[in-house]
Amino acid sequence: MEKPISRQAHGAIDYAYGAVVAMLPELLDFKEEKKAVTLCRVLAGGALAYSLLTKAEWGVVKVLPFKKHLLIDFTTSLFALGAPWLLGFAHNEKARNAVIGVGLAGLSASTLTQAEDM
């Protein structure tokens, strides 16, 4: 089955994801929730780091196969969905919903992308 997101478009999504997720605590005003802030920074930094290392048009140091990149996207997104409860900030509606949104966005991008190596 043909998936709607190309490898090239996935790169643009990843770099935008990294920038937006890093800024979410400020944009949505949950800076006081330190675990959620740290998680956003780690998710954003990780996505940017492994995007830079991916064997794709948009990778800089091409060492990580694209299919492995998608697997990392998928697993970190699953973690993000449970993180508010696992890390203890589910009571904070803004932080909880933001991180769940990040997880859903990541799952969507990873499952709707054509998994073809360069």
pTM strictly above 0.85: yes
Number of domains in the chain: 1
Asked, for residue 118, whether it belongs to a domain, the answer is no
Q: Is 18 inside a domain boundary? A: no
Mean pLDDT of 105-109: 97
Confidence of residue 107 (pLDDT cuts 50, 70, 90): very high
Q: What is the mean pLDDT of residues 15-23?
A: 97
Provide the pLDDT for residue 118: 67
In a domain, 107, yes or no: yes
Q: What's the pLDDT tens digit per position in 31-53?
A: 999 999 999 999 999 999 999 99
Compute the distance between CA of residue 71 and CA of residue 69 in angstroms, rounded to an integer.
5
- The most distant pair of C-alpha atoms in the chain lies apart, rounded to whole Å, by 44
Which are the contacts of 92, defined by CB distance < 8 A and separation ≥ 6?
30, 33, 36, 84
Cα–Cα distance for residue pair 96/30, rounded to 1 Å: 10
Token pair, residue 85, equals 């409860």
- Owning domain of residue 63: 33-111
Does residue 66 form part of some domain? yes
